[in-house]
Amino acid sequence: MLDRAFGRLRAFRPQSSRLGPGWWPYAFLAPFLVLFAIFLLYPVISTVLISFQKKDGLGPGTFSGLDNYAALLRDPRFPIAARNSVVFTILGLVITIPSAFLLALGLNSQRLRARGVFRLLFFLPAAASSVIGAMIAYVFFDRQYGFINTQLGIDVPWLTSGALILPTIYLVILWKYVGYQSLYFLAGLQTIDKEIIDAARVDGANSAQVVRYVLIPLTKPILLVVVVLVILGSVQLFAEPYVMTKGTGGPGQGGLTIAMMIWEAAFRQFRFGYAAALAMVSVAAAILASIVAVRALRSET
């Protein structure tokens, strides 16, 4: 009976499609490709084209060549915003990533009790909206009524000092995203075979040497991902500095970012061509920085 059934199944052949067998993968990919073209490819191409146009408002634009990019270079606020974005990126690479890795080591430790509770506590800031987190931070750092100044009895202009506004914003970013980034490292650490660590300890490696020569090299693929995310996040930083500086960039434009300039040019001044040029420059800088960072890390292996 089974032989007959299998024989009939082998004899059965679906009718060949007019498109041929090579078209079936594209048929399954068609929904994704359509959505990709509508929501990503088309906006990117449109942004590139608009960056070369004088387009004020929603009406049709006129070709203006490199005028928007020339205006960008003449804008005195652009170097400040670019500098701030670079500083946020460097702080993220130098402080946030190592802090996230150390936090992941602690959360992965077998000696830590209630590890699930601690993981949840550190992840909660990332789960909250960026705007809500920035509003909470504003309440904490307000000079007159802020929780920190009133509870510690100090008078520090966290948000009204040109020298303190950027470090204050970064503290909020560190608080919000260090737990989220530590989850990437935690996932990588949990995939490492314990026998490798035990073998290193048998060979005489102490805890610091295990981290340096075993855990870090084995989690380098995760590190590459986190580095790219930090660079892209620093370039796109908007909600925290916008809320904490009330959209002004703060004293001396110390909290101004390129994303804030894009929003202001597009939705306050309706200079869509100039905003598109800013967006293209920021994207190009983020891609270039990501390529350099990834190549630098890969060259160390």
Which residues lie across from 33 on neighbouring strands?
none
DSSP string, 201-222: HHTT--HHHHIIIIIHHHTHHH
Q: In order of start, what are the domains of the chain with their CATH numbers?
A: 72-299 (1.10.3720.10)
pLDDT in tens, 49-67: 998 988 887 777 788 889 9
Mean pLDDT of the chain: 86
pLDDT in tens, 215-237: 988 999 999 999 999 999 998 89
Residue 83, pLDDT above cutoff 60: yes
Integer angstrom CA distances of residue 175 from 102, 121, 260: 14, 11, 21
Residue type, 149: N
Q: 28-35 long-range contacts, Cβ below 8 Å, gap at least 24?
A: none
Q: In the structure encoding, which two tokens stand for residue 32, read together?
A: 């994704």
DSSP string, 9-52: HHH--PPPPTT-GGGHHHHHHHHHHHHHIIIIIHHHHHHHHHTT
Nearest-angstrom CA–CA distance, 55 and 37: 23
Helix 258-267 with 77-91: angle, nearest 10 deg: 140
CA angle 39, 41, 42 (to 5 degrees): 75
Phi, psi of 164 (to 5 degrees): -105, -15
Integer angstrom CA distances of residue 276 from 134, 208, 273: 26, 48, 5
- Give the pLDDT band of residue 194 (cuts 50, 70, 90): confident
pLDDT-wise least confident of 10-14, 41-45, 184-188, 236-240: 10-14
Helix (H) or strand (E) holding 289, with range, is: helix 272-299
- Give the pLDDT band of residue 47 (cuts 50, 70, 90): confident
Integer angstrom CA distances of residue 179 from 126, 166, 171: 7, 21, 13
Q: In the structure encoding, which two tokens stand for residue 54, read together?
A: 């004088």
- Placement of tokens 């070709």 in the chain: 63
Record the pTM. 0.84
pLDDT at res. 167: 94
Which residues lie across from 164 on neighbouring strands?
none
pLDDT at res. 57: 76
pLDDT-wise least confident of 122-126, 133-137, 138-142, 270-274: 122-126
Most confident of 3-12, 104-113, 125-134, 252-261: 252-261
Residue type, 148: I
**What SS3 class is residue 53?**
strand
Mean pLDDT (whole number) for 277-286? 93
Q: In the structure encoding, which two tokens stand for residue 201, read together?
A: 């300890």
Using a pLDDT cut of 90, give the percent of the chain over it: 40
Quick check: 272 and 61 in contact, CB under 8 A?
Answer: yes
Nearest-angstrom CA–CA distance, 260 and 278: 10
Mean pLDDT (whole number) for 105-114? 80
Closest CA to 230 of 278, 176, 301: 176
**What SS3 class is residue 90?**
helix
pLDDT in tens, 5-23: 545 545 545 555 555 566 7
